[in-house]
Amino acid sequence: MKFLFLLIVGFILFLISKNYKTEKFVNINLKMKEEFDGDLMQHEAGLLVALMAKVAKADGQVSELEAQLIKHTLGDISRHFKNEEEIREKLKEIYNKEKSSFDNTIEVCKNLYNLTSNNYEKRVKIMEYLLNLAFIDGDFSNTELMITEDISNALKIKRVDFERLVNAFEMFYKKQKENESLSLDKAYEVLEASKEDDNNTIKKKYRSLVKRHHPDIIAGQGASQNIIDEATTKLQEINQAYELIKKSRGI
């Protein structure tokens, strides 16, 4: 059961990224807090964040959607520990350090494998989460494919399972694109902007909406979990709208 919450959190975020409802998960108990003051690079939490950093930076940049997913994940992981704030800062340090180089990717994978060698299902779930991160911006690049393949091999994931996950994501995002309901006009409506606005105005309106609907801010105001979930969904819609407008403007 150790660190099983990571799989639950990953799955919940996986669902959130697809606009699924998460109400049925509200009774999951994540109140059991772990006390840890060692090297997080010897812990599943730190190793997972290190691999997230590699995947997020694989194509040379971290998109708004990737950044948002990573931020929520760091928060969810750190809340599992008694020394929450300290852990969160250490995880941020790991993320910022590990995204700068791919040289130790296999070493990180080997350390994670050693901690999960008796739990193949957990490693597959971790792989699923990393692929979700790679796909979340709707573009699975060749470099993202290569690094996730390397990670999968180092974690000793069966090729058939890796390909099954990749195919599932490809089919999902292909269908999502075909059924895309967020038109460019709708995107401007979501950002409370117009096509006549310049890029700086669009950016300001985007940032204002993010502050207004950010789940962390909503949670800090004492809102209920349902309201926080709604804010999470709204924030994703805002991010998607902004990404679509940026793409259409070439910025």
Distance (Å) of CA 155 to CA 51, 108, 164, 175, 218: 11, 10, 16, 29, 38
Length in residues, the chain: 251
67-90 tens-digit pLDDT = 888 888 888 888 888 888 999 999
**Average pLDDT estimate for 190-196:** 90
> Token pair of 98, please?
């590990």
- The confidence band for 32, taking pLDDT boundaries of 50, 70 and 90, is low
d(C-alpha 182, C-alpha 180), whole Å: 6
% of the chain beyond a pLDDT of 90: 45
Pick the CATH number of 4-17+37-178 from 3.30.420, 1.10.10, 3.30.70, 1.10.3680: 1.10.3680
Domain range annotation of the chain: 4-17+37-178, 184-249
Q: Spelled out in words, what is the top-level CATH class assigned to the domain 184-249?
A: mainly alpha
Q: What is the pLDDT of residue 233?
A: 85
**Average pLDDT estimate for 115-137:** 91
Contacts of 52 (CB under 8 A, 6+ apart): 70, 73, 95, 130, 133
Q: What is the pLDDT of residue 62?
A: 85
- Residue 34 pairs in a beta bridge with 81
- The confidence band for 182, taking pLDDT boundaries of 50, 70 and 90, is low
3-state secondary structure the chain: CCCHHHHHHHHHHHHHCCCCCCHHHCCCCCCCCECCCCCHHHCHHHHHHHHHHHHHCCCCCCCHHHHHHHHHHHHHHHCCECCHHHHHHHHHHHHHHHCCCCCCHHHHHHHHHHHHCCCHHHHHHHHHHHHHHHHCCCCCCHHHHHHHHHHHHHCCCCHHHHHHHHHHHHHHHHHHHHCCCCCHHHHHHHCCCCCCCCHHHHHHHHHHHHHHHCHHHHHHCCCCHHHHHHHHHHHHHHHHHHHHHHHHHCC
d(C-alpha 165, C-alpha 136), whole Å: 14
